[in-house]
Structure 1
Amino acid sequence: MTTTGAHQDATGSPARTWLWWGRRRSVVLDVGLGLVSAFECALEGVGFADKAALPVPFGVLFGLIVGGVLVLRRRWPIAVVLVSIATTPAEMGYLMGVVGLYTLAASDVPRRITATLAGMSLAATLIVTFVRVRQDVQSADFDPEPGAWYVPTMAGFMSVGLTAPPVLLGLYVGARRRLMESLRDRADSLEQELSLLADRAEQRAQWARTEERTRIAREMHDVVAHRVSLMVVHAAALQAVALKDPQKAVKNAALVGDMGRQALTELREMLGVLRAGENEQRGAAPVPLAAVGAAAAAAAAAAAADDGPSLADIDALVGQSRQAGMVVELAVHGEAKVYAPEVEQTAYRVVQEALTNVHKHAAGAKVMVRLAHRESEVAMQVENGAPDASGATAAAGLPSGGNGLVGMRERVLALGGVFVSGPTDAGGFRVSAVLPDRVGAPEPA
């Protein structure tokens, strides 16, 4: 313990320390006990001086010094008990002995030292009490005289009465104090653990919200980018042939209108799902942060399981690109199977985004779409040749946000698949993905 300065009390506010005392009332208590003990020892020092043939002032001064040692009981409890044992033959310091034994038993001194000093105090008190009781019996006139058992019995009762109660009370108070400290430390530890759990729950909720926003952004990108890209391609073709071939211009205008309506329909469906979820959250009671992550994950799974594009729609997807003037070849290997909704939707989106990138960056290039149904997985590959700068769509000016490949990779990896993309030796570009037919829930990063 520090000798000076300040510390925090039970309420957490700074409190001044007084030497080795933690609180002011401890100073008052110990100083008061020291004064009472010094006064007691001073009175007992008069009798000690008479028996030892010493001057009375010397006995009084000796008693004051011995009794004042009790002030040090919190700092040096062993020294206080040793002084009380040493002064036991002088028949002084009874208060100091009782309080010293209590303080020693209640302190953090090892139990073997406490037991040793308590035994020494008991033995010293027993010897002095035995001699004093025997002297009193011999000097008194008893009728009849007490038996031989009287002196040791009285000496034993008095010595045990002066030694055992303070030791037992000190052991109880010390054990209770240590228990309270242990409970307080455990409460602080639990509070820290709860704080960590709350922080972790907040992190999981934030992760779930981020994942949900990313998923919605991917869906919006896939829907808008593909449909609008085809609309821009058809609009460019319409502009090129409007005067030369009115019939073809009318056909392209109709295709642009159909694609625009399809894009609006898909957007309305997605916004309807979002608004339905928002209305449910407004009508429901507030939920803890720990449940947000699970709710968002469940919403994502439910959204993935809704009616959406599947592998069966790839033929129509390829047909739309052909109508836009792209030369696309579709090859399907293996026997078609029914996969999980999220697998079907991810496979469709990969092919869709790859075709959209061809419209944007490789106008006029020939495209090969391969779809392979294997024993425990489904694989897809979209490969285009070198772009044709003279193609009808070369001047369409389609913008690119740079998120297409990133979104495809995130989709495939989230399902435990493999995604590879990169340029080919012939100057084209290849996108390949493999998805397992059984999908497990991805772990949070």
Structure 2
Amino acid sequence: MLDVGLALVSALECAAEGVGFARDAGLPVAVGVLFGLVAGSVLVVRRMWPVAVVLVAVAITPAEMGYLLSIVGLYTLAASEAPRRIIAALSGMSFVGVFIVAFVQTTRSVRDTPELGAEWFPPFVALTMAIGLTAPSVLLGLYVGARRRLMESLRERADSLERELQLLAERAEERAEWARGEERRRIAREMHDVVAHRVSLMVVHAAALQAVARKDPEKAVRNAALVGDMGRQALTELREMLGVLRSGDGQVAPRRAERVERAGRVPESESGSVPLAAVGVAAAAAAASASAGSYGPAGSAGSPGSVGSAGSAGSRGVVEAGEGPCLAELEELVGQSAAAGMVVQLSVMGEVRAYAREVEQTAYRVVQEALTNVHKHAAGARTHVRLAHRDAEIAMQVENEPPPEPGAASSAGLPSGGNGLLGMKERVAALGGVFVSGPTDAGGFRVSAVIPSGG
């Protein structure tokens, strides 16, 4: 509508100016009016062909018509995407055309009016008219074109940023979903580690209690006390875990310290097993006879030694405060399995030192789950637990010999969820370690892991 209106006004202007042009040229007035209507109406295509509009305006400048056509055409050309050299060339042509026509008309007027006969007057008037009819429209068109391009660039940038934000939001949602899945798996591993081991020992002790209840009431009382103690420990760990999930602060250090203080006190062995002190001595002798031989996925490091009071005290001295079990409780863990009837040997090699909480917790859980599997699948088998403190890593291995009765499982009928080995592998891999498990040539089973110490 704007272009049509401008074209109509321009056509009327050129038609009116065509009357004078026809008289000066000796043409019929109708021809001049028609010529003006056609020339002025070209303004309707200014957006599609601004160069053509300016050329028409320059062409009819000698006829002293098309001033609106020239002004609007130059503005449209300057605001368009045309190359700057074309804009400059056409603007210069229009400037020269207006200057020449104005100079000729002013000179003629001065000649007819002697009182305006100053020599400077025609050039001044011509220059003023040329600048006034070309410069404002060109400068305004350049400004509007630059602003329009800037706004388009800002809109494109805003659209690009919106797309990027949308992609980031989608990726954040994917990461959040992945994190939720990882957290669910972590909680499942923790629940499995806490419940499976304690409850497995409780079931084993309950079976032993049922067997000796009438024959040896005193021994049955001791087994019942062990069942109660293990049940309380399982409930305590579950409460700690649920407390962390509820509050998120992880303030379970007091209970952890209590467990560390209890690490040196191990129940006496029952059901034919040897005391843990004897287990440590036997393990030290076995390790010494092997001359610090290879165990685990990458061999041994340091000197062998039994886990006596000095070892447990050293472990207690390097434990960090935090949630979850630690290596200082490993002796107690092995002692509970020994009290449940397992013939188990524990040996520690290398210098005991501090580790990150995640490293100690993972090492503890690997040994715990391996012992639980022995209770489930190889009841009565002799088991060796080995721990090595190396320069940049900690290695652990739990290996059981074939059970006394081939193919025998726990007499208590312990169920197996099938997630123990997978959970151990995930834990170790999450810390950049290596986990290997499988049957031995002798018919037993071996679980080995190496975890970087983290500096």
TM-score relative to the length of structure 1: 0.81
Aligned to 2:341: 325
- When residues 305 and 118 of structure 1 are mapped into structure 2, their CA distance, relative to the original with a 3 A threshold, is farther
- Alpha-carbon separation, structure 1, partners of 2:179 and 2:88: 61
Q: 2:21 aligns with which of 48, 55, 72?
A: 48
Aligned to 1:14: none
Q: Deviations over 1:292-324 (max 9, x none)?
A: xxxxxxxxxxxx951542222211111111121
- When residues 387 and 379 of structure 1 are mapped into structure 2, their CA distance, relative to the original with a 3 A threshold, is same
Q: Does the 8 Å contact 2:378/2:408 carry over to 1?
A: no
- When residues 147 and 73 of structure 1 are mapped into structure 2, their CA distance, relative to the original with a 3 A threshold, is same
Aligned to 2:447: 431
How far residue 390 of structure 1 moved from its aligned partner, in angstroms, is 6.8
Q: Deviations over 1:240-265 (max 9, x none)?
A: 34445444433332322221121112
Q: Does the 8 Å contact 2:377/2:408 carry over to 1?
A: no
Q: 2:201 aligns with which of 213, 216, 230?
A: 230
Q: 1:213 aligns with which of 184, 190, 194?
A: 184
| Aligned-pair Cα RMSD in Å | 2.3
Which consecutive unaligned segments of at least 5 residues does structure 2 have?
252-319
Q: 1:415 aligns with which of 413, 416, 431?
A: 431
Q: Does the 8 Å contact 1:238/1:252 carry over to 2?
A: yes
Q: 2:385 aligns with which of 369, 379, 392?
A: 369
Q: Deviations over 1:187-237 (max 9, x none)?
A: 223333333344444444444443333332222211101000111122223
Q: After the TM superposition, which residues 220-369 of structure 1 pair with which residues of structure 2 at under 5 Å, given as runs?
A: 220-277=191-248, 306-369=322-385
Aligned to 2:46: 73
Query: Which sits farther off after the overlay, 421-430 or 166-175?
Result: 421-430
How far residue 105 of structure 1 moved from its aligned partner, in angstroms, is 0.3
- Are 1:29 and 2:2 counterparts? yes
Q: Deviations over 1:103-153 (max 9, x none)?
A: 000111111110011011111111122212122222x2323x422222122
Q: Does the 8 Å contact 2:14/2:33 carry over to 1?
A: yes
- When residues 158 and 388 of structure 1 are mapped into structure 2, their CA distance, relative to the original with a 3 A threshold, is same
- Alpha-carbon separation, structure 2, partners of 1:213 and 1:148: 97
Alignment coverage as a number of residue pairs:
387
Q: Does the 8 Å contact 1:364/1:390 carry over to 2?
A: no
Code of the residue aligned with 1:351 in structure 2: it is: V
How far residue 391 of structure 1 moved from its aligned partner, in angstroms, is 9.0
* SS in structure 2 of the partner of residue 257 of structure 1: helix
Aligned to 1:117: 90
* SS in structure 1 of the partner of residue 447 of structure 2: strand
Q: Does the 8 Å contact 1:364/1:392 carry over to 2?
A: no
Q: Does the 8 Å contact 1:305/1:342 carry over to 2?
A: no
Aligned to 2:164: 193
- Alpha-carbon separation, structure 2, partners of 1:42 and 1:227: 106
Aligned to 2:261: none
- Alpha-carbon separation, structure 2, partners of 1:238 and 1:60: 123
Code of the residue aligned with 1:223 in structure 2: it is: V
Q: Does the 8 Å contact 1:236/1:392 carry over to 2?
A: no
Code of the residue aligned with 1:156 in structure 2: it is: L
Q: 2:105 aligns with which of 117, 132, 153?
A: 132
Aligned to 1:399: 415
- Are 1:141 and 2:113 counterparts? yes
How far residue 370 of structure 1 moved from its aligned partner, in angstroms, is 0.8
Q: Does the 8 Å contact 1:364/1:391 carry over to 2?
A: no
Q: Deviations over 1:40-66 (max 9, x none)?
A: 111111222222222222221111111
Code of the residue aligned with 1:317 in structure 2: it is: L
- Alpha-carbon separation, structure 2, partners of 1:388 and 1:141: 137
- Alpha-carbon separation, structure 1, partners of 2:91 and 2:172: 55
Query: Which sits farther off after the overlay, 242-251 or 119-128?
Result: 242-251
How far residue 33 of structure 1 moved from its aligned partner, in angstroms, is 0.3
Aligned to 2:57: 84
Code of the residue aligned with 2:133 in structure 1: it is: L
Code of the residue aligned with 2:234 in structure 1: it is: A
- Alpha-carbon separation, structure 2, partners of 1:279 and 1:33: 77
Which consecutive unaligned segments of at least 5 residues does structure 1 have?
1-27, 281-303, 440-445
Aligned to 2:135: 164
- Alpha-carbon separation, structure 2, partners of 1:63 and 1:275: 87
- When residues 193 and 392 of structure 1 are mapped into structure 2, their CA distance, relative to the original with a 3 A threshold, is closer
Q: Does the 8 Å contact 1:233/1:393 carry over to 2?
A: no
- Alpha-carbon separation, structure 1, partners of 2:102 and 2:204: 115
- Alpha-carbon separation, structure 2, partners of 1:402 and 1:54: 108
Aligned to 2:35: 62
TM-score relative to the length of structure 2: 0.79
* SS in structure 1 of the partner of residue 248 of structure 2: helix
- Alpha-carbon separation, structure 2, partners of 1:279 and 1:242: 42
- When residues 334 and 279 of structure 1 are mapped into structure 2, their CA distance, relative to the original with a 3 A threshold, is closer
Q: Deviations over 1:308-361 (max 9, x none)?
A: 422222111111111211121112112222222222221111100111111112
Code of the residue aligned with 1:252 in structure 2: it is: N
- When residues 352 and 51 of structure 1 are mapped into structure 2, their CA distance, relative to the original with a 3 A threshold, is same
